Amino acid sequence: GTAAIGVTGLATMGGNLARNLARNGYPVAVHNRTSARTEALVSEHGDEGVFVPAGTLAELVDSLQRPRQVIIMVKAGGATDAVIDELAGLLEPGDIILDGGNAHFADTRRREAALRERGLHFVGTGISGGEEGALLGPSIMPGGSVEAYRQVGPVLENIAAEVDGAPCCVHVGPDGAGHFVKMVHNGIEYADMQLIAESYDLLRAVAGLAPAEIAEVFRTWNQGDLESYLIEITAEVLGHTDPETGAPFVDVVADRAEQKGTGRWTVREALELGDPVPGIAEAVFARALSGAVRQREVCASLPGPTEPPGEVRSGFVDDLREALYGAKLAAYAQGFSMISAASEQYGWNVDLAGTARIWRGGCIIRARFLDRIAEAYRTRPELLNLLADDYFAEQVSRSQQAWRRVVGTAAAAGVPAPGLSSGLAYYDTLRASRLPAALVQGLRDYFGAHTYQRVDRDGYFHTLWSGDRSETAS
């Protein structure tokens, strides 16, 4: 065989990834279940590099140098299993299968273990950046063994996005670590978008700005600490006018947010790990609630604020920027904490600084402040929460008062801000010297004899609530 690497699954993502590889000088073998896609790719883009079209997976495998490296870019789920099964029968020990689809990390762990038994490497790889990223340089989050990364790492680093001369690709950790980190990336993306959407809503409903004016606000915000791809495209979307009606585009779009599942996965896994991600959960629930059309209808006549919310502060727009920044920090703190919890649980030893570094370019949540997050974890790998980092603690202490004003204003105006307010509650919970969890423990002991610990002595205790209310050690 002569091709350096193969790609099977040539829809949007796989086709663009194959072109990216070819443009970077790798002769790439290409295959798709429906061969028309393979032919279209080669006839439209054949001049971009060396493509070796294959009609079957057996032909694809035959055309590869050894050890063979095959990237699967098919629909996640059963299709991926079917392709892996067929490929595994054609490959030889030492060959590498890379799954670039949005697989659940538990599936990746299962597939990796099964293929390892057969002597094959399996590299579950998170890829973010959508269509354009796949072509021009995505953020790449590979899992799998160190040995496999030694083979495919250089190729992946070559086709990844680049920031400050460093590739947005790092070996995240063994087995499912790459897909786990990609899942949390998407969870953070949900939270980020929800916070942006709430900010837009408040600028419109409270500050009375029109979408085109709000686009300008976001354009300004994109000059500072908030600089990021999502803020940049928010300005684009809000500035767009529907060509058919002449209305702001955002006003002709149905207000029901859909989802493909990675946000839900993130929250489910966080629940399993017992590591809270309320900002991400609120974002997933906010999408679901927006789509609960019938419930929204039957509740539509419930009253809003009966007292006028009062004058809007002249500094409201600046306050909102601070609130958005604080809540965004809280969401990232939650995401990184969750990765750290999973890393411990599964023994992955994930490099959190490296993770922040590879999210600086290529992916959807790429943002200026990821530099600072990378720096925080580089200087203190044992950092327990991002908000406790010196730099971010200083930032959030500057933002928090404005953040409180915004959450108060939103409540007074009757504008839902679940992301902004849950972020603030997360912040206040973490910094509280005493939490009412003490009362929860008391109640649990009262009705269920679940026992409690004391602040002044070691051990577990139970109060004889229905007796003389004396305390017993348990």
Distances, alpha carbon 334 to alpha carbons 3, 259, 410, in Å: 42, 20, 23
- Cα angle 198-247-205, degrees, rounded to a multiple of 5: 30
Helices (H), 347-385: 352-358, 370-379
| Residue count of the chain | 474
Output the residue with the shortest Cβ distance to ligand NDP: 101
- Comparison of 83 and 277: residue with beta carbon closer to ligand NDP: 83
Q: Which residue is it, tokens 């897909």? A: 179
Decide if 420 contacts 429 (C-beta within 8 A): no
Taking the complex as a whole, how short is the minimal distance between the CB of residue 265 and ligand NDP, in angstroms? 12
Q: Which two tokens stand for residue 135?
A: 């072509």
Report the residue from 130, 291, 414, 442 that binds ligand NDP according to the rule CB under 6 A.
130
Report the residue from 6, 30, 32, 144 that binds ligand NDP according to the rule CB under 6 A.
32
Task: Report CA dihedral (157, 163, 166, 168) to the nearest 10 degrees.
Answer: -40
Nearest to 370 by CA among 398, 322, 335: 335
Taking the complex as a whole, how short is the minimal distance between the CB of residue 405 and ligand NDP, in angstroms? 38
- Range in contact with ligand NDP (rule: CB under 6 A) among 32-40, 42-50, 398-406, 417-425: 32-40
Taking the complex as a whole, how short is the minimal distance between the CB of residue 301 and ligand NDP, in angstroms? 40
- Range in contact with ligand NDP (rule: CB under 6 A) among 9-17, 223-231, 279-287, 312-320: 9-17
Report the residue from 102, 266, 395, 409 that binds ligand NDP according to the rule CB under 6 A.
102
CA–CA distance, 139 with 161 (Å, rounded to integer): 6
Identify the three-state secondary structure at position 14.
helix
In the annotation, is 328 catalytic?
no
Report the residue from 33, 110, 268, 462 that binds ligand NDP according to the rule CB under 6 A.
33
In the annotation, is 189 catalytic?
yes
CA–CA distance, 413 with 402 (Å, rounded to integer): 16
Q: Kindly write out the interface string for residues 40-79 of this chain, putting x where it contacts ligand NDP by CB under 6 A and - elsewhere.
A: ---------------------------------xxxx--x
CA–CA distance, 344 with 333 (Å, rounded to integer): 17
Taking the complex as a whole, how short is the minimal distance between the CB of residue 21 and ligand NDP, in angstroms? 15
- Comparison of 32 and 151: residue with beta carbon closer to ligand NDP: 32
Taking the complex as a whole, how short is the minimal distance between the CB of residue 71 and ligand NDP, in angstroms? 10
Report the residue from 13, 18, 215, 376 that binds ligand NDP according to the rule CB under 6 A.
13
- Number of Cβ within 10 Å of residue 298's Cβ equals 9
Taking the complex as a whole, how short is the minimal distance between the CB of residue 394 and ligand NDP, in angstroms? 35
**Binding-site residue total for ligand NDP (CB under 6 A)?**
22
- Comparison of 82 and 432: residue with beta carbon closer to ligand NDP: 82
**Burial (CB count within 10 angstroms: exposed 0-12, middle 13-18, buried 19+), residue 459:** exposed
- Comparison of 51 and 316: residue with beta carbon closer to ligand NDP: 51
Decide if 327 contacts 195 (C-beta within 8 A): yes
Is the backbone peptide bond immediately before 67 cis, with ω within 30 degrees of 0? yes
The single residue of 39, 59, 162, 182 carrying the catalytic annotation is: 182
Q: What single-letter DSSP state applies at residue 388?
A: G
Task: Please report, as residue ranges, which positions from 161 to 180 form the binding site for ligand NDP (by CB under 6 A).
Answer: none
Which residues contact ligand NDP by CB under 6 A?
9-14, 32-34, 37, 73-76, 79, 82-83, 101-102, 127, 130-131
Instruction: Report, as residue numbers or ranges, the catalytic residues.
Output: 182, 189
